[in-house]
Amino acid sequence: MKIKILFISIAFIFSVNAKIEIHQEILINGLKVIIVPMKSNEVVRLGIVYNVGSADDPMCKIGLSHFLEHMMFKGTKTHSGPQFKQLLDKYSMYTNATTSQDYTVYFHSLHKDFLETILKLEADRMINLKFDNKDVESERNVVADERNMRCDSDPEGRHIADTIQRAKYLHSNYGINAIGYPQHIKNYSKKALIKHYRKFYKPNNATIIVVGDVSITEVVDKIKATFNRITVSSEAVKRNRVLDPTDLNLKHSIERSSDQIKRSTIEFIYTFDRKHIDSLRKMFTLDILNICLGANRRSILYQELVEKKQAVYSVSSGLETPAFDKCFFSIFAHMKSENDDKNVEKQISDIVNNLIPTYLTKELFEKVKNTIFESQDLLLDNPGDMFLYIINTAIALGYNLEDVKNLKEIITQITFEELQKMAKEILIENNKVCRIYIHPDEEASKYKDQTN
């Protein structure tokens, strides 16, 4: 999903026909504000992003940020839980929140007339959240149920996401999924919640994003009127992250088989250093590489493995670029049952190892760049995509919005040689750190897992 947003949002930024503004400023209390006015039938996307995610959670309480996200809907000292939720439902067409490993976002889709009301509700829960014992206990069960739904009840992926995440990040908190483990969920306390909330939920640790049918000055005035009254009594939070060591050179092979699994899949994960995304130019070069390799039916992997060789049912590639620590490039294939995993692995490796000069051609590169340019108009129809793009780039990865405004030149200047260089540096055997093979096994009742 992230790569798709970046891909289509590149085009959006340098639209030829419409002038797009991105306004940003920082309030006196440190709150960052980003506003993007665009036509959207009087609908506005509003979000507030806090720089806190599960990778900031205390040990043995991973998922606390996510749990806190749930508690943010339970009421404040000024509005009881039912009142708060009633107001959200009344003035917001759609409202929700999400917690990743690096940030927590509360977002709304609303009519522009009610922007002020929702801003006030956000300000209220930023500083006045209440923590009722009964709410904490009932929400604990809800979160446990959510964990069960997302991670533990899937017959194919049951628990395996935890194993894969830990294989990718041995030491850091990125190695645990944002929702935490069941035993962590049991361990959350009201005291820990309050401490976490007071540490991270403040204006100098947050960004407000507004996209849609608005005027910049009006929105800035409303935000200032609401949030400037919130004073800050401590410095901005410094995120203390334990990074994974880069010299271990560990390789993981995870195999899962069961009589409850009826489809075979295989995945390869390559690691790469953050230096490959330390500028927007490099980030978009990486995006182009991903599109060329596996993002759609025109991609190299799809054409070779699905169309020509008919070796697999489907194949795709993807990126994982957290705010800190190393990044990952993955290739995923849905295998045919009669295919041997080693054979599929060899075929994928043959393609990846011979990307240059055989598969990654200048012609393909130019086509992908051209598609990006051509898709610009679609983005003018969708403020939601712009909203996500801002979060994924400026917030999650910390790119300067001034660079975003010059994106057209950046994309135009990316050369084929840069793309080749990136492919040569990232997609090498030595960087392949994880192999995950999930397949049926009629002899294995329940699950048989092997990790090496």
Partner 1 sequence: MNRKLLIILTIVVVLLSYFCFQKISGGYEPDIEFKNLQLNVKEIQLNGGFKPIWFSKTENPAVAIEVVFHNEGARSFKDTPGILKLTVSTVLSGSKKYSEKEIHELFIDNNIDLSLESDSDDLMIHIYTVSKNFELAINLAEEVFSNAIFDNKKLKIQKQKIIENYNQARFYGDYIADQELSKLIYGEDHPYYEGNIDYVIPKIQKYTQNDIRLCYGKLLVPKDATVTIAGNVDETLIKKCFTNMFNNLSRIKKNNFKEVIQTAEIKNPGKIIHKELDTSQSTIIFALPGILRDSNEKFAYVFVNEFLGGSSVAFNNKLFKEIRDKSGLAYAIGTEISNRDMSSVLFGFAKTAPENVGKLIEKTKEVIKKTAEEGLSNEDLKYYKICKYSRQPMETCKDIVSFLSKCRFNNVKLTEINSYPFNYYKLTVEEVNKVMKKILNVNNMVFVDCGKTVLEAK
Interaction residues for partner 1, span 405-434 (CB under 8 A): none
Judged by CB under 8 A, the residue of 24, 98, 132, 140 near partner 1 is 140
Judged by CB under 8 A, the residue of 21, 28, 141, 350 near partner 1 is 141
Best CA proximity match to 44, nearest among 115, 118, 120, 117: 115
CB of residue 93 to partner 1, shortest distance in Å? 4
CB 329 within 8 A of CB 341: no
User: Which range binds partner 1 by CB under 8 A, 188-196, 319-327, 375-383, 408-416?
Assistant: 375-383
Query: Is it true that the peptide bond before 357 is cis, omega within 30 degrees of 0?
Result: yes
User: Which range binds partner 1 by CB under 8 A, 200-208, 258-266, 345-353, 427-435?
Assistant: 258-266
Q: Which residues of 132-156 are buried (b: 16+ CB within 10 A; e: fewer)?
A: eeebbeebbeebbeebeeebeeeee
Judged by CB under 8 A, the residue of 4, 23, 85, 421 near partner 1 is 85
Q: What is the dihedral of CA 110, 113, 118, 123, to 10 degrees?
A: 140
Judged by CB under 8 A, the residue of 251, 262, 424, 448 near partner 1 is 262
- Residue 374 CA to residue 370 CA, distance in Å, equals 6
Judged by CB under 8 A, the residue of 186, 195, 199, 229 near partner 1 is 229
Q: Which is nearer to partner 1, 156 or 429 (CB)?
A: 156
- Count CB neighbours of 445 within 10 A: 10
Show the site string, 99-128: x = touches partner 1 by CB under 8 A, - = not: ----------x-x-xx-xx--x--xx--xx
Window 168 to 187, contacts with partner 1 (CB under 8 A): none
Judged by CB under 8 A, the residue of 88, 160, 269, 286 near partner 1 is 88
Judged by CB under 8 A, the residue of 21, 25, 137, 221 near partner 1 is 137
| DSSP bridge pairs for 111 | 43
Q: Which is nearer to partner 1, 109 or 330 (CB)?
A: 109
Show the site string, 342-361: x = touches partner 1 by CB under 8 A, - = not: --------------------
Judged by CB under 8 A, the residue of 21, 60, 94, 253 near partner 1 is 94
CB 34 within 8 A of CB 210: yes
Best CA proximity match to 338, nearest among 309, 365, 311, 370: 311
Window 234 to 253, contacts with partner 1 (CB under 8 A): none
Window 194 to 213, contacts with partner 1 (CB under 8 A): 212
Q: Which is nearer to partner 1, 87 or 192 (CB)?
A: 87
CB 95 within 8 A of CB 73: no
* Half-sphere exposure in the Cβ direction for 119 (13 Å, CA): 27
User: Which range binds partner 1 by CB under 8 A, 57-65, 93-101, 277-285, 339-347?
Assistant: 93-101
- Count CB neighbours of 295 within 10 A: 22
- Residue 327 CA to residue 340 CA, distance in Å, equals 29
CB of residue 346 to partner 1, shortest distance in Å? 21
Judged by CB under 8 A, the residue of 189, 246, 296, 450 near partner 1 is 296
> Can you say whether the dihedral through the CA atoms of 160, 163, 167, 169 is positive or negative?
positive
**What three-state secondary structure class fits 221?**
helix
CB of residue 110 to partner 1, shortest distance in Å? 9
- The position carrying tokens 């799809």 is 302
